[in-house]
Every structure is written in structure tokens, then in C-alpha cells.
A and B are shown apart, each in its own frame.
Chain A
């Protein structure tokens, strides 16, 4: 019942969603001047849910009269100490010195809470209460005071599980978006860094905050994201992944065209490149757009280590991606179709390994890929204590016993393992590589090297056709921005990166204006 009522409130929101959300309750129920009537109405709307506390108390007045007052809070969302010490105590201990009709002003002055505001709309207040505000009603006034003193438990800032860095910041985003915003604000304390919040989800009322640096980010891009977010009309947003899939250009592609990160240092670096960060309340993973393919082979740590090693590692990551998706395909194409591709010295051990295996090669590889996926998935979800047992069983059964039992050839295990290990180098799209591997493997098991090449060309065509909020996914390779190549598969010294990347539209081109001269002079 309660939800239905709130739904009717939200339906009005739906018709007229604005970033400020001020004018949604124009025609809704207002507070009456009788505190008991207000209480009844509130109870009606909230359907007397158990977690909502109605606290009646009396404010003594200077001339001996008393004033009935009502405090409405949600249990567990409120900083109880703050309400008790800063609201209840000052109001009840000392009598209020005021004339008739001036009490509300007096009360407001006496309460020592930063963020208080008057509210005459009852329905809107309900919604504010549920978000963690405290409503204070006084008898005889058709206005209530909304006190913002939220106090709920949040997780401490800790190092993110994914995207780890040895050299670099070790803090990570948490589930509370005010904290996440503060983490970014601490890194860019400049007025140009702006945050705008929209509530999405009729039931979940999730705060979606977009952050951008106004001087740098492309206003068209900001406008596009705002529009897309506004158009989302759903019941709930559970995590950032849903937002990602609702606003991306190509929701049916296997490649994600919106990036995500748990690292504030990465997010602030992206903001300074002219990108837009989307923080979803309740999720420690923040999104960023535009996200290009190259993002998957970059790491924030690349910029702090020497350029030579970073370049090497980036190329390694790219090669790993190619190896990871194509190695089983190349293997089956070489053995079943183009035996001449295998070096003559290598073919003898491969033949001897194949001879004892009872299955066709394609089935052998398919079995191994399936088993590796099963082990990987089990390892991800399992508690750590069982995890070690799993790895022993997996290593033993997959690696050792299946070969000695003659079910699988050792070369097949090597090929599939290398393919999987290579995928772990590029974790952001490890899920994509898993699917591509299977796809390319099927193509080449049916049509050999020809099938493999056609499938890879198809994949490349698809990748080039992708866009991330209108920005080409394969930039700076297609379209060709040669100046951005210094921070692509290689990373040239930072000194040479005087301009912001052209791949990401921005308003402020230069990022380095002057640097100390090189050498010892």
C-alpha cells in the first residue's frame, strides 16, 4: 500500500523530471496547521511502516504555554546523537522566548544543524524523510522543517579489488556517492569541476551524479549524457552496470563502450582528459564516458613508471589480447587444415600427443575451454577457503590427470591455458575475450584459417563501427589521429604530451605549458 502511494507521487515526478526537481509537487497535499492531522496524513501515506518513528514532544514556551511538536525520522538513517543533542535538547531544556507566530523562526534558529529548510509540501516531505532527512512539525504551523542529519553506516575507504596498482594511490570508491564525490573533489579542488545529480528509479530513487570539468569537457557530450539519463524511466537502478547498458550507444555489442573504474585517481585523470564520470549511489564502481578500446590496455600506473617499460607492457597487453582470442583458433586451423603451418620439428610431439586422444580435436578444445570457464567461474564466486581446494582439483584434473588418462593432449592444454592466462592480462575485457575466443575457435574449426581470418575481419569491422557516446571506439586508429599515438600502444615521455588527446573531444587543448629544461643546466 505504502509503495503504491509513493508511486502516485513519483508518477508526477515522471511527467516533469528536472535536474533540480523542484516543481514536481505543485498540486500535491500540503501541510495543515494541526500537527495531529499532519501526523495522521503522514501515517496514512507511509502506511505506518515499522522503521518510521514518530516522536511527539513538547516545547516549553517562555510564558508558560507549551507547543506540541512532532519529529519524523527513519530508523537507522539518522544520526541520532545529532538529533538528540542539537534538536531535542535545546528545544526541551530551555523555554522558548517568543511571541505567537514567531515560534518556527525561533526553533529554526535554536537548532544547530547545518542544513535545515522549510517545507510546506507534505508529499515531498515524505520522500525526503525516506531519503534520511528529519521532519520537524510544530502545532499551528503549516510548514515543516526538514533537517538534514543523515547517519548511516558506510564502508571505510579501502583499496579497490580490481584495477590494482603498485605505484599509485590506494584508495577506492565506496558505495556512498557523497564520499566518492568528495574523493574526486579532493583531487581537483577547482570551481570548474562540477557535479550534477539526477534521481533515477521510481522505487530506488538512486542518485546518479555526473561529474565533469566544465572548462575541459565537451558541452555537447555533457548534454547528450544528461538527455540519455533523463530518458531512463525504470523502477529501480541496482548498480552502475544497469546505467551503463541503458545509456550506451551499442547495447547489443559484446564490447562495453562505457568504461568503469573503482579508482578515484584514475577517475580524476579521466576528468582532466575531458571525460565525464558517472557516479551511481550504492555502487563502488563509477562509470566514465567516452571509453575507447585503448582504455582496456591502459593502466593508470603506466603514467608513473618509465615510458619504455610502459610502452612494452602496453604492447604486451595488446598482443595478449590477440593471442587470447585467436590461439585456440590458430591451433585447430593449423592442425586440422593447414598442417604445413606447423614447424616440422614440432609436429612429431603434437602427433604423438594427438594419437591417444579419443575425441576429434575440435571437441577436445571445446571441452577444455568449457572446463576452464567452469573452473574460473567457480573460483570467482567461491569463498577463499574452498578456493584453494578448487585450484588444486582444477590443476590436477585439468592439467595432470586428463593428459595421463589420454583424454586430452598436452599441447591442447598448453594452448588453452596460454589463451586464458593471456586474457587475464587485460582484465577489463576478460569477459569479451572469453566469448571471442569461442567464436573464433568455432569459425576456424569449421573453415580453417580462412574462417579465422574472415571472423577476425568481421570482428575488426564491428569494433571500428562502435562508438562511445558518439566518439569512435577505435580512435586514434580509426579515425586516424596520429598525434594521439604517443599515448596508445606506446607511451612516449609525458614531456611530449603537451596536448590533450584529440580522440576525446575537449575545449582546452594544451595541458603542459612549460616544463624545466632537460639536462643538468
Chain B
């Protein structure tokens, strides 16, 4: 007993690796930017400023809102850069709270996936952090001033978590990205982020989607096409849709439910796909003067269906004709339906997709028209008994 009691405390002294790290001796990275620079990797990081906002502003990257430190450095690899940052940051960098990765377009068109390897290999990185592509310098995205949060990274991430109310952008986490890349079709899509002038300061804004074919970015979809992509991917669970009945009259629909079913039929190398899109929504905004009745509603439903079809067709056209890249989910559905034939056609899938005949069938259902039935009636009725009129 006594021997045990002496041995056990002594064992504690034998431990060599001390994984304890004081918080005030660590630099916690919230956002990482990667870009290319002369064959090397340019890494920029956004670190929480521990002392809170002050007059001096950010680090050498400059700008920001005083809550963050921005550092930039060229390195051969991510981990080498992380270690070399200690020289600049004077503290060891911790990537456990990294929630944002911004990849410069130049790197995205090159071998950015190779550089991302460490994000899965090291236990320090979060696989549920978000990936972005930017046309600008990544450090500019990390350095934009924020509206609410302390850090631009945190604000961009919190914006993504509100996507259910808007179908105009895609959000992709690292593990989702890898799931796409390592799936049967090695194509992926990533949201594009850019800075926007708002009065005199720059704020970040999401704009379109980058299309990645075989590990490299090949093109982009604009915001409108992104909506079509979201419908194709069965990810447009919400958001509003405005349709014009004629030149002046517009009706908005609030989408409650949107379901896309893909039925591919493969004949040799000819693909016929049938898209069945079901939209359920409520009437959100009626700028017309017409009152609501069955007839009118079915007219609006038809119009919504038409517009949605056009929207999806636009996206598909771009993917098929211009980019020749399938990120639409048709490929995955085909793979599931024809697993045997898939082996033979996998290598030329993007070609098959480009030549595919795709039929789009949209069915819209307006479940209710909100709290009022009638619009304001401009032709007021005359009062029955006007006391001033004999």
C-alpha cells in the first residue's frame, strides 16, 4: 500500500509529453486563406485578437475591425506555414477553431486539393469548417470589416447557417466536399465569396458557385444559376420566388417544400433523364389587383413552374454545354441505378452528361394564400345612405 502510494505520484513525474497549452500562449486561428504565389503556397490566417478591440488595428495584413490579427506568409505546405507563423504570431497556432477556408481562384484552378490534404490528416482541423473560393486575395476576405461578430470568419460562417431562408447560394463543408470529390463523379461545387462596397466599407457577400471538375475549378455559375443548381441538388428547401404574370404584375411565392426526383434512363451511351420537381409554397406577395380564386392560383402555379423550369434549364445548359461538368446529382442517380454499366462509362461520364436529354417536369402547388383573400379594392363602393346626399 505504502509502496503503491509512493510509486503513483512518481509516475506523474515520468510523463514527458505535456499536451497542456495555456490559452494565453496560443493563437487560435478562425479563418485560413490559401492562394498561389510564385509556385509557393501563400497562407493567410485570421487570429482572434486576445486583448480585444484597440486603436492599432490588425497585424501586418492591416484593416479589419480591430478584433482580429491578420498574418500572411509564403510556404511550401500548410503545416510548414503553420509552424513558420510562430515567428510572426509569437505564439503557437491552433487550428481547432478554424471554421472558414478561403481559396484563391488562381490556386483553385491549380492543385488546391493537394494542399488541403492536411485538413483531413491532422486531428486539429475541423472537418465541419466551410470552404470558399474567391476571385480576390483571400486575406482581403478575411480582413473585411464585420457587421455583428468580432471576426469576419465567424460572420461568414453564421451567414451560411441561415441558408434555409434563401436558395441563392450553396454551402459546402470540408467533409461534404471530400464526399463529392471521392464519390463516383469527382466533381464538386464550392460557393464563391467576394467583397462588396457598401457605403465606404467593404463587406463580404456570397456570389455564385464555383464548378470543380477533376479536382480543378473550371468555371462558375452566377447567382441565378446557383438557384437552379440548388433545385437540381434538392437543396432548395426554402426561399422566395417571384414570378411576373405580365409586365407589371408580380407575384411572390414563399417556398415551403421543394423536392426533386431524378429518373435517369441509360441506353448505351445515351442518357435520358427525367427531372420531377415538386414545389409547395404559400402566396407571399401579390402586387396585382386581381382577387384570389382557383383560376388565378392555377395561373400563378403554372407561371412558377415555367420559371423554375427555365431556371433549371439555364443551369443545366451551362453545365452541359459550356462547362461539360456534372455536379447536378444526375450522375449519382445514374450510378445508383446502373452500377454495372457505370464501370464502363465512368471515365466518359462528363461527355455523356453533356449529350444527355433532360426532361424537366415541374409541378407547383400553392397550399394557401396567406391571411387575406382580397387585394385592396381601388374601386370603392358608394355608401348606401350617405347623409349628405338627398
Residues of A within 8 A of B (CB): 335-337, 339-340, 342, 344-345, 347-348, 350-352, 354-357, 360-361, 445-446, 448
Q: How close is B237's CB to chain A, nearest CB, in angstroms?
A: 25
Contact of B50 among A337, A339, A355 (CB under 8 A): A355
Contacts of B126 in A (CB 8 A): 340
Quick check: is B154 within 8 A (CB to CB) of the other chain? yes
B51 interfacial by beta-carbon distance below 8 Å? yes
In this complex, what residue of A is CB-closest to B20? Answer: A336
* Given A344-B154, A446-B12: A357 touches B24 (CB 8 Å cut-off): yes
A–B pairs, 22, beta carbons within 8 Å: A335-B23, A336-B20, A337-B20, A339-B21, A339-B94, A339-B96, A339-B97, A340-B126, A344-B154, A344-B157, A347-B28, A347-B48, A347-B97, A348-B150, A351-B23, A351-B28, A351-B48, A354-B22, A354-B23, A355-B24, A356-B51, A446-B20
Give the docked Cα–Cα distance between A344 and B51 (Å). Answer: 17
Given contacts A340-B126, A356-B51, 18 further A-B contacts (CB under 8 A): A336-B21, A336-B22, A337-B19, A337-B21, A339-B97, A340-B96, A340-B97, A344-B157, A348-B67, A348-B154, A351-B28, A351-B50, A354-B23, A354-B24, A354-B50, A360-B22, A446-B20, A448-B20
Which chain A residues lie closer than 8 Å to B96 at the CB level?
339-340
Alpha-carbon separation in the docked complex, A123 to B22 (Å) = 73
A/B pair count, beta carbons within 8 Å: 61
Chain B min CB distance to A495 (Å): 46
B26 CB–A CB distance under 8 Å: yes
Q: Which residue of B lies closest to A344 (CB)?
A: B97
Question: CB-CB < 8 A to A339: which residues of B?
Answer: 21, 23, 26, 28, 94, 96-97
Interface of A is mostly: helix
Q: Closest A residue to B153 by CB, please name it.
A: A344
Cα distance A351–B126 in the bound complex, in angstroms: 19
Binary interface profile of B, 23-41, with partner A (CB < 8 Å = 1, else 0)? 1101010100000000000
Given contacts A337-B20, A339-B96, A448-B20, contact A344 B30 (CB under 8 A): yes
Q: Count the B residues whose beta carbon is within 8 Å of the partner chain — how many?
A: 26
B119 CB to closest chain A CB (Å) equals 14
Please provide the chain B residues from 1 to 25 with a CB less than 8 Å away from any CB of chain A in the complex. 12, 19-24
Is B213 positioned at the interface, with any CB of A under 8 Å from its CB? no
Name A361's contact: one of B23, B48, B52 (CB within 8 Å): B23
Inter-chain CA distance A348–B146, complex, in Å, is 15
In the assembled complex, the CB of A252 is this many whole angstroms from the nearest CB of chain B, namely 11
Q: Hey, which chain A residues are within 8 Å of B30, CB to CB?
A: 344
B52 near A352: Cβ-Cβ < 8 Å: yes
Question: B201-212 vs A: 1/0 string, CB under 8 Å?
Answer: 000000000000
What is the bound-complex CA distance between A180 and B356, given in angstroms?
94
Asked whether, in the complex, the Cβ of B22 is within 8 Å of the Cβ of A361, the reply is yes
Residues of A near B97 (CB, < 8 A) are 339-340, 342, 344, 347
CB contacts (< 8 Å) of B154 on chain A: these are: 344-345, 348
Interface residues as binary, B141-163 with A (CB distance below 8 Å gives 1, 0 otherwise): 00000000111001001000000
Min CB–CB distance B108 → chain A (angstroms): 25
Contacts of A344 in B (CB 8 A): 30, 97, 99, 154, 157
Report the Cα distance A355→B50, complex, angstroms: 6
Nearest chain A CB to B137's CB is how many angstroms away? Answer: 24
- Given A336-B21, A339-B26, A340-B97, are A355 and B12 neighbors across the interface (CB < 8 Å)? no
